[in-house]
Structure 1
Amino acid sequence: MSDVLIIGGGVSGLMTAWHLVQTGASVSLIDRRQCAQESSWAGGGIISPLYPWTYSDPVTVLSDQAIADYRPLVDTLRADTGIDPEYHTPGIFHVNVDDPGHAHAWARRHGKELEQLDQTDFRALVPLVREARTPLYMPGLGSLRTPRLGKALRQWAMSSPYVRLLEEVTVRRIRIDNDRATGVETDNAVLDARQVVVCSGAWSGELLADIGVQLSVYPVKGEMLLFKAAPGRLQHVVLSEGFYAIPRQDGHILFGSTFEHAGYDKTPTASTRSMLYRQALHLMPGLADCPVVHHWAGLRPGSPNSIPFIGAVPEVRHLWVNSGHFGNGVVLAPGASRLLVEQMTGQTCCVDPAPYQVRSVAAAH
């Protein structure tokens, strides 16, 4: 029997396992596919909330903790696994911002660096992007390659003597005995554990509803394009009018994303591909000579006000949740998983856990 059984092997589940192992716990990690193949693979990997001044303070506070944790985590993963998540922090540009005054006020309140550049300086730094209004620059931020982060975390889990990795295994039900989580039922086995953690992304609400727990987590579809450009053509992450462009070291440029309520359907559509292509060329006309080499979709775990649920499930002992991060799952993962494990083990929490607590629970299990 494992100390903790985690349902969901995305970045959030893997990082939760990481933090649990640091406390001496043994972990079983279950995923219905190979780990880190859902939204963790599909996401762009910007290590900052998009337009961070539009979020409430709980998201800002948790992202601050997560961003502080990222560099040592990535360095350790690279050294231990040989897989480089390619975390680079040249800064992020926000252009065509409708209310720069609001952004500056947020930055002053939270002690953030936010610089407004003139057009000459902006064009020198980001020549691929056409002339843009109010270029705002946030230094010290950047992005990583989410598939490589997932591979590194999976490799760590596979090599850890304290982690039992169960892939291609579907959890049918969380087992409850006398209002206590005791494990899960899969297609062909019953797995026992002292504690259970739900890190199932967009599927978390559906899984918990089966045992009478009402959690407001729901799928939000996002589609993206991948352009093949020469290395170095774009150096910075650029956000404009709700879209973003993310450079990769090998020259690829990701462009996205959409926000669609389409249930669990993650089929990319031709109409969305055309729309994204038009928007990409509107922002960066030079991409017209760069082929689109991939078009895909993923499902974000939406939640009210984009504040994730991180903590215990009331009235069900030994059942925990780390889900509902919306589009910030990779951004928040180090901080969110740290916060959850601190609550599970009775440690002093890195941030106030109150805003992230699960509160809506039905009586019948």
Structure 2
Amino acid sequence: MGARVRETCDVVIIGGGVIGCAIAHRLAARGTSVVLVDAGQRLGLGASDGAMGGILTQTEPSCLGPLSSVIKSSRDIYPDWLEEIRDASGVEVPVLDGGDIQVALDEAEMERLESKVLPQWKNSPFAVERLTAADARSLEPLLSERVVGGFLLPEELALDPRVLMAALSGAVLSGRTPIRVLNAVRATDLRTGPGGVEVDLHDGRRVSAEQAVVAAGHLSGVFLPRHRAHLFPIKGVAFDVRPPGAVTYPLRHHIFAEIRQDGREYYPYLVPRHDGRVAVGVTYEENVGDVTVTAAAVEEIRRGVAALMPRAATWPIGRRWAGLRPGSADHMPILGHVDDHGRVVAATGHSGLGVTLAPVTAELVAALVCGTAGPREKELLAVCRPDRPFPPAPLPPTPPVSPPPTVR
């Protein structure tokens, strides 16, 4: 076999989803030359394409602990970041800024929210407003009559991740930045040494760089052997519905509930889109790596939605999809150098908060790579440091065992 064709750059990034593209864009703005390697036919076809689009401050439990300071930083810079991407790409990303309504459908759930969740919300750096049942239905009249109350999380935002990726892709591919994108190319090996890194590609090419950033979603463990045991996929199924005649946001908020009925738990989540659709989800299957959309998952979501907003359960279903969130064992990102030579930076494990944390992840990784991290960046990076202790990752679910055949 002949010598490999060699690409050279300052930084090679493995993974072209929202995290990888955000980092590439930020590094390029600093004059850093980047080669972005992505296995998809176009950028953002992995977890980013399957995201719901909530820019979350409090809805996810992982938002409420040590990660809250990182989320606050990302939320603060989000509007300016979107403007910057729009200016670079020409693509406007519509944002719904009404916040998230989390409702209770019975008194037991309202008690849980008030006694267990509200204290954590109050300890976060974000606002929270208590809602009566009448308050909730005045904000969203289509909510079920079963709603007994809830809370408004007014600083949460929502957007369409596909539009966000179109804007990010346009910025990365504009030709006005020192970024070279290699689509439909798989990285097969990453080696690091005192002088730099080398990434082998499946087509025989090799990328040589000063540093590498691994932002390959749930597959990042392939290139991060020390963290392979802490990373795993989290499957989520969702689908779009469209209210008849809707051409703009059909709801003014995104809406979430935890529902326990018929001996089962449901977690319906509705995220309105600017073109009249509503993204509806979502299932949560840890350490499941297939992207099959099953009828059972769709029915599980539909049942939850029927309890939360009955009319929405009758709206026609459009696109159905499954995505694989890049999970980490403690549900927080892994950001930082992970090799002995200080050449490889992990930027993965966002566990469903990739869209939420993309702006701050780009800022922090760029500061690491360029050696410009100040006290504030170091404080935020310490929350997500790769050498923190991790709990055991969840095991894959045990497949059901068929009963033995009956002997007649």
> Does TM, scored on the shorter chain, surpass 0.5?
yes
- TM-score calculated relative to the size of structure 2: 0.83
- Show the counterpart of 2:305: 280
Query: Which of 85, 94, 103 is the aligned partner of 1:86?
Result: 94
Q: Deviations over 1:303-362 (max 9, x none)?
A: 12211100001424311100000011111111122112212222214343222122289x
Superposed, which structure 2 residues align to 1:1-365 within 5 Å?
1-33=8-40, 34-49=42-57, 51-52=59-60, 55-96=63-104, 97=109, 98-131=112-145, 132-159=147-174, 160-177=176-193, 181-187=196-202, 188-209=204-225, 214=228, 216-229=230-243, 230=246, 231-241=248-258, 242-261=267-286, 263-347=288-372, 348=374, 349-350=376-377, 351-359=379-387
| Residue range with higher mean Cα deviation, 239-248 or 96-105 | 96-105
3-state SS of paired residue (1:223): strand
Q: 1:302 to 1:181 in 2, by over 3 A?
A: farther
Shift of 1:289: 3.5
Counterpart Cα distance in 2 of 1:7 and 1:213: 16
Letter in 1 for 2:36: L
Shift of 1:194: 0.9
Letter in 1 for 2:385: Q
Q: 1:337 to 1:77 in 2, by over 3 A?
A: closer
Q: 1:108 to 1:61 in 2, by over 3 A?
A: same
| Residue range with higher mean Cα deviation, 192-201 or 86-95 | 86-95
Q: 1:222 to 1:2 in 2, by over 3 A?
A: same
3-state SS of paired residue (1:341): helix
Letter in 1 for 2:234: V
Q: 1:137 to 1:207 in 2, by over 3 A?
A: same
Q: 1:182 to 1:113 in 2, by over 3 A?
A: same
Unaligned segments of structure 1, at least 5 residues: none
3-state SS of paired residue (1:305): coil
Unaligned segments of structure 2, at least 5 residues: 1-7, 259-266, 390-408
| Residue range with higher mean Cα deviation, 225-234 or 332-341 | 225-234
3-state SS of paired residue (2:364): helix
Counterpart Cα distance in 2 of 1:157 and 1:121: 43
Q: Deviations over 1:74-118 (max 9, x none)?
A: 122223322122122111101115222333322332342111112
Shift of 1:56: 5.0
| Residue range with higher mean Cα deviation, 224-233 or 58-67 | 224-233
3-state SS of paired residue (1:128): coil
Counterpart Cα distance in 2 of 1:168 and 1:122: 47
| Partners of 1:53 and 1:106 within 8 A in 2 | no
Counterpart Cα distance in 2 of 1:339 and 1:239: 30
Q: CA RMSD in A?
A: 2.0
- Show the counterpart of 2:399: none
3-state SS of paired residue (1:317): coil
| Partners of 1:58 and 1:307 within 8 A in 2 | no
Counterpart Cα distance in 2 of 1:59 and 1:342: 19
| Partners of 2:100 and 2:153 within 8 A in 1 | yes
Q: 1:295 to 1:195 in 2, by over 3 A?
A: same
| Partners of 2:211 and 2:369 within 8 A in 1 | no
Q: Deviations over 1:12-42 (max 9, x none)?
A: 0011112212222111111000111111111
Q: Which has the larger radius of gyration?
A: 2
Letter in 2 for 1:68: D
| Partners of 1:226 and 1:294 within 8 A in 2 | yes
Identity of counterpart residues, as a percentage?
A: 28
| Partners of 2:192 and 2:343 within 8 A in 1 | no
Q: 1:111 to 1:58 in 2, by over 3 A?
A: closer
- TM-score calculated relative to the size of structure 1: 0.92
How many correspondences in the alignment? 358
Q: Deviations over 1:224-257 (max 9, x none)?
A: 0110112443221001013310011221111111
Counterpart Cα distance in 2 of 1:55 and 1:139: 15
